[in-house]
Amino acid sequence: MFWTIGAVLLVLVLSCLKQVNQWERGVVFTMGRYSYTMSPGWRLLLPIFQTFKKVDIRIKAVDVPDQKAITRDNVSVTVNAVIYYKVADAPKAVIEVENFYYAVSQYAQTTMRNIVGEVTLDELLGQRDKIAERIKEIVDKETDEWGIKVNNVELKDVSLPESMERTIAKQAEAEREKRAVIINSEGEKAAAENIAAAAKVLAESDGALHLRTLQSINDMSSDQSNTVVFVTPVEILKAFAGGFKKE
């Protein structure tokens, strides 16, 4: 008889004993009303009168599925993202929302479509961090009443229609060609300025042009296969003309 009573008591104690892991919190309800939150460890609950629900408080990474949206400049895009959040208030996460996993995912999808619709394609492609931060602020503010803290939002991918990808590729190619033409023209301008400066120096110095001509002939004469046609500089002809006049 004693052993039977002891066994029954042991079974009752074990049925009342609940374990809460380090990464969990236990939300306790007494006769349907919230009582307290159990911290990690072994805890006793009164059978029938008390129930509890475990809540995982670790950071969760939720993949927001592909969302089709239209940007402010009427370009159709497909965007997906990852949202990182955790339960900051376990009682609120249980009491205020039926399924916070599903609720956070759905709200993030709606917010992402709305934000994409407010920006242009160039802003979406060039300011992804800024747009992700904006989505995070909106979702975090809304889910604060659910006891949820949003840590970060990352835009994973932005997909464009094939026709738009080809257009962007052509635009990028045209931009590269434009830069190449500008750089080439700047080089030609610099070369022309240097040539003009050299010509001015030669024109202002007596005999400089003649010396330059002789130097060029000397450079060409190093190769025996070259045939050099020498043109007499104007300065020499003028010198001869002056001598004939004196005579």
What confidence tier does 137 reach under pLDDT thresholds 50, 70, 90? very high
pLDDT attached to residue 238: 59
Average pLDDT, the chain: 79
pLDDT attached to residue 77: 87
More confident residue, 195 or 225: 195
pLDDT attached to residue 237: 56
Q: Per DSSP, which regions of the chain are E strands? A: 17-20, 24-30, 33-38, 41-44, 50-56, 60-70, 76-87, 148-159
What confidence tier does 149 reach under pLDDT thresholds 50, 70, 90? very high
What confidence tier does 17 reach under pLDDT thresholds 50, 70, 90? confident
Question: Residue 159 region, left (φ>0) first, then alpha (ψ -120 to 50), else beta?
Answer: beta
d(CA 160, CA 115): 17
pTM for the structure as a whole: 0.62
End-to-end CA distance of the chain: give it in Å, rounded.
159
Q: How far is CA 142 from CA 62, 136, 152, 220, in A?
A: 17, 10, 15, 83
* Cα–chain center distance at 196: 48
C-alpha torsion 138→141→142→143, nearest 10: 120
Please provide the DSSP assignment of 91-122 as one string.
HHHHHT-S-HHHHHHHHHHHHHHHHHTTS-HH
d(CA 136, CA 82): 11
User: Strand 148-159 vs strand 76-87: parallel, antiparallel, or unpaired?
Assistant: antiparallel
Amino acid, single-letter form, for residue 79: V
pLDDT attached to residue 169: 58
> Which of 8-12, 16-20, 25-29, 35-39 has the lowest average pLDDT?
8-12
116, 124 Cβ separation under 8 angstroms: yes
CB-neighbour burial class of residue 50 (10 A; exposed 0-12, middle 13-18, buried 19+): middle
d(CA 136, CA 117): 16
Annotation: CATH topology of 60-160:
Tetrahydropterin Synthase; Chain A (3.30.479)
C-alpha torsion 119→157→128→135, nearest 10: 70
pLDDT attached to residue 246: 47
Q: What angle do CA 107, 108, 114 make, to 5 degrees?
A: 90
